[in-house]
Amino acid sequence: MEKEIKKVNEKISVAAFDPDENSFKAFADKGFKSVINLQTDEEEQNVSSEKEEELAKDNNLKYRHFGVSKDNLSEAMVDDFREELENLPTPIVVHCKSGKRSGAFVMMHIGCQKNMSGEEVIKQAEDMGFECDVPELEQFLKKYVNEHSNS
């Protein structure tokens, strides 16, 4: 199965899969400059975040890790993530296991930049093929965007 990378805009894409040993060379070959990993160390992954960091370095990619789970989801974490999106070399590829967290985090950033409402962001995310079937995540996204738009 072809590993899906959804291009959100010129600067940001979402990898809708859990990367393996070969993914980082593929990211570099596709022209990405940075990788952000949203998987937690507790969840099952093809390669650990430490190994990902190593693979990223080997392929001249900047690497950041934010372990996001429904238990630790916070506005501060989204703020930090958005700051990394602004500061890391682009294009950036963001991944988790399925693309749900990555898609939600990226769309929160874009929604705030474009001064959209939470509802508009959910609709745009769905139009782009992101599934938001996690009610807590959807509620969080809407609230975050509604409170942070234009900031």
| pLDDT band for position 133 (cuts 50, 70, 90) | confident
Q: Is the model's pLDDT at 128 over the cut of 50? A: yes
Question: 120 exposed, middle or buried (CB, 10 Å; 0-12, 13-18, 19+)?
Answer: middle
| pLDDT band for position 2 (cuts 50, 70, 90) | low
Q: How far is residue 127's CA from residue 31's CA, in Å, rounded to a whole number?
A: 25
Give the three-state DSSP class for 36.
Answer: strand
Instruction: Compute the mean pLDDT over every residue in the chain, rounded to the nearest whole number.
Output: 93
What are the backbone dihedrals phi and psi of residue 102, each rounded to the nearest 5 degrees, phi first? -60, -45
pTM of the model: 0.94
Span 12-60, pLDDT tens digits: 999 999 999 999 999 999 999 999 999 999 999 999 999 999 999 999 9
Q: How far is residue 110's CA from residue 123's CA, in Å, rounded to a whole number?
A: 13
| pLDDT band for position 135 (cuts 50, 70, 90) | confident
| pLDDT band for position 1 (cuts 50, 70, 90) | very low
Span 92-111, pLDDT tens digits: 999 999 899 999 999 999 99
The full set of domain ranges for the chain reads 5-148
CB 5 within 8 A of CB 15: yes
CB 121 within 8 A of CB 141: yes
Q: How far is residue 42's CA from residue 35's CA, in Å, rounded to a whole number?
A: 19
Question: 77 exposed, middle or buried (CB, 10 Å; 0-12, 13-18, 19+)?
Answer: middle
Span 5-148: which CATH code? 3.90.190.10
User: CA–CA distance from 86 to each of 11, 69, 83, 149 (Å)?
Assistant: 10, 23, 5, 16
Q: Is the model's pLDDT at 151 over the cut of 70? A: no
CB 64 within 8 A of CB 52: no
